[in-house]
Amino acid sequence: MEATGFSILTAIIFIPIIAGVVILFLDRKNRDLVRGIGVTAAAAVLALSLAVYFGYDNFVKAEGGLIDRQQALLEAGGELSGAQMFADALAFEQRIVWVQSLGIAYHVGVDGVSAPMVLLTGMVAVAGVLISWNIQDRLREFMAFFMFLVAGVYGVFIAVDLFLLFFFYELAIFPMYLLIAGWGWVKLREYAAMKLTLYILVGSVFALVGAVAMYFAAGAFFTGAGAEVFQAAVANGILPPDSGAYSWSILQFTLAAEHGAFAFDILGIEGLSFARFWFPFMFMGFGVLAGIFPFHNWSPDGHVAAPTAVSMIHAGVLMKVGAFAALRAGMQLLPDGAETHLPWMVFLTLINVVYGALIAFRQRDFKYVIGFSSVSHMGLVSMGWATMNLTGMTGAGLQMFSHGAMTALFFGVVGMVYDRAHTRDIPSLGGFMKVMPWVGVAFVIGGLTSMGMPGLSGFIAEFPIFQGMWAASEQITLQFGAFQLSNYYSVIVILSALGIVITAAYVLRVAGQVFFGEFDAERFHDVGNIQMTDRIVLILLGAPLIIIGIYPPIMAPMIESGIRPLIALLGGG
């Protein structure tokens, strides 16, 4: 563990918070200043995020960097320690003890999975501020809440303390509720905001209960049977010297999980270990936010009701928060549970992929199409997690970034069309390529990404996921009492290909009906081309899709290095 001074990550969290607080105290009429502070803060955060991303990239790829170290470990053979590898993978760390008696610390850092998410959040933050440039109603409050939202999202990605993770998780939900209820689409906003908040809070409460249970289980383990493990870890520097047996540190939970702290049976039922019991609560509790079937229904309503910037951050980043937390707090801390439960949960992800696409196919409302497409695409992320192998999970990590940028781009496009046409009814639009060529091209690029076109990031993500599914097919067997199912991952991957076909169908249908065809020059006589800020949004979100699509080494090795500790925890090679 490195010595921890001030970390750039701390700046990333506090800049938006400070900007938000400052904005709240400004004069409401001084719109330029509000916007100026907003965009400056977002740009600063994006710049710092880029620094983190490429800094971490260097940390991974440098001579003797993380990849080399992991390679050496693999070549040396023997038992791999996931906790050790995770500790080794963390960079940009800062740790301050917060509540010593409870083992809570302000501990932040990034690994290969979270570094791309940090970059994604920065991109979407800037795009969100720019696209909200012309909000008329209470711009000051909007901007401030948006800043708090950004800070909360960042916090989840960089938290290395489970308590801190929960803290930021809730911090993100609260402004989200206000933004949707206050600035959303009048017809739906109160219902949608309430629905969203209830779903997510209920999910996180289950997860929190699970986390508390883990806290006590791990503490008991380290004071009892695992005392030696604990001392050894402190001596090796995996854990900081001032840690107690009872701690919220994710590192410490990982260590406990690896040494069987969660393997004891509970409720007096043989075979029902602690990990197996709590995994569904942890994974699904956060998985709600990733839109896992059947807990996805908050998301399309929420996306549609939210103002454009919020839809962007909501679908682009917040759903990744769910998938990320499910990985970090679910799979990483309860790997035994993952091995038991993911083999059946993979069916839910299949439903996600096909079902979301089918519903998107039937929508008349432009925004609902994109909303349900997110449900479908996030299903691929969960499917990637469910492969539990390096290839598939790396693909899922890539899909998180790819989908984040793509769907934010989509919502930006929808917003730009809606702001000018004042309708989202797909059949009544048409020919917008003529008047908004930039937006049309952006939609086509996003659409091609979403249908997995090679040369764009969607393919780079989907290919490894399918690859991983195929490889997992021979390894994973579903055991359910006497009932046994094997080799079914290959069937699932074939069925999920159906989702990709339907995706192509609805993307092309929307592109055809909105951007192609005759333009109704009389009805949309006041529709004009977009302004500069909108163009920046389109470029900011569209360019990464192409860059990663053409040159995946800019992201794939990093994510892979972040997945390797998990593979070690899951007992793979």
Contacts (CB under 8 A) with other proteins, residues 373-392? 390-391
Rule CB under 8 A: is residue 95 a binding residue for other proteins? yes
- Of the candidate spans 35-43, 84-92, 311-319, 555-563, the one that interacts with other proteins by CB under 8 A turns out to be 555-563
Rule CB under 8 A: is residue 560 a binding residue for other proteins? yes
Instruction: Give CA 115 to chain center in angstroms.
Output: 11
Residues contacting 12, CB < 8 A, separation 6+: 45, 48, 49, 52, 118, 122, 154, 158
Amino acid sitting at position 18: I
Rule CB under 8 A: is residue 242 a binding residue for other proteins? yes
- Of the candidate spans 114-122, 125-133, 237-245, 409-417, the one that interacts with other proteins by CB under 8 A turns out to be 237-245
Rule CB under 8 A: is residue 31 a binding residue for other proteins? no
CB of 309 to other proteins, least distance (A): 17
Assign 15 to helix, strand or coil.
helix
Q: Which residue, 9 or 569, is less far from other proteins as judged by CB?
A: 9
Number of amino acids touching other proteins (CB under 8 A): 90
- Of the candidate spans 43-51, 174-182, 206-214, 475-483, the one that interacts with other proteins by CB under 8 A turns out to be 174-182
Q: Which residue, 257 or 388, is less far from other proteins as judged by CB?
A: 388
Residue 552 is given by DSSP the state G
**Which of 361, 366, 401, 443 is close enough to bind other proteins by CB under 8 A?**
361
Amino acid sitting at position 139: L
Rule CB under 8 A: is residue 425 a binding residue for other proteins? no
Residue 159 is given by DSSP the state B
CB of 568 to other proteins, least distance (A): 14
Rule CB under 8 A: is residue 289 a binding residue for other proteins? no
Instruction: Spell out the long-range contacts of 269-273 with Cβ–Cβ below 8 A and sequence spacing 24 or more.
Output: 273/336, 273/337
Rule CB under 8 A: is residue 571 a binding residue for other proteins? no
CB of 293 to other proteins, least distance (A): 9
Rule CB under 8 A: is residue 106 a binding residue for other proteins? yes
Q: Which residues pair with 479 in a beta bridge?
A: 484
CB of 544 to other proteins, least distance (A): 16
Q: Are 535 and 438 in contact (CB under 8 A)?
A: yes
- Of the candidate spans 79-87, 96-104, 215-223, 476-484, the one that interacts with other proteins by CB under 8 A turns out to be 96-104
Q: Cα separation of 506 and 457, whole Å?
A: 19
CB of 336 to other proteins, least distance (A): 24
Rule CB under 8 A: is residue 163 a binding residue for other proteins? no
Round the CA-based radius of gyration of the chain to a whole number and report it. Answer: 23
Rule CB under 8 A: is residue 59 a binding residue for other proteins? no
Q: Cα separation of 402 and 416, whole Å?
A: 21
Q: Which residue, 201 or 213, is less far from other proteins as judged by CB?
A: 201
**Which of 165, 433, 537, 538 is close enough to bind other proteins by CB under 8 A?**
433
Q: Which residue, 36 or 454, is less far from other proteins as judged by CB?
A: 454
The footprint of other proteins on residues 474-493 (CB under 8 A) is 474, 487, 490-491, 493
Rule CB under 8 A: is residue 501 a binding residue for other proteins? yes
Assign 404 to helix, strand or coil.
helix
Angle in degrees, CA 445, 447, 449, rounded to 5? 70
Closest CA to 214 of 323, 111, 322, 332: 332
Instruction: Give CA 81 to chain center in angstroms.
Output: 26
CB of 353 to other proteins, least distance (A): 12
- Entry field: residues in the chain: 573
For the chain, the helix, strand and coil percentages under 3-state DSSP, each to the nearest 5: 70, 5, 25
Rule CB under 8 A: is residue 174 a binding residue for other proteins? yes
- Could you tell me if residue 99 is left (phi over 0), alpha (psi between -120 and 50 degrees) or otherwise beta? beta
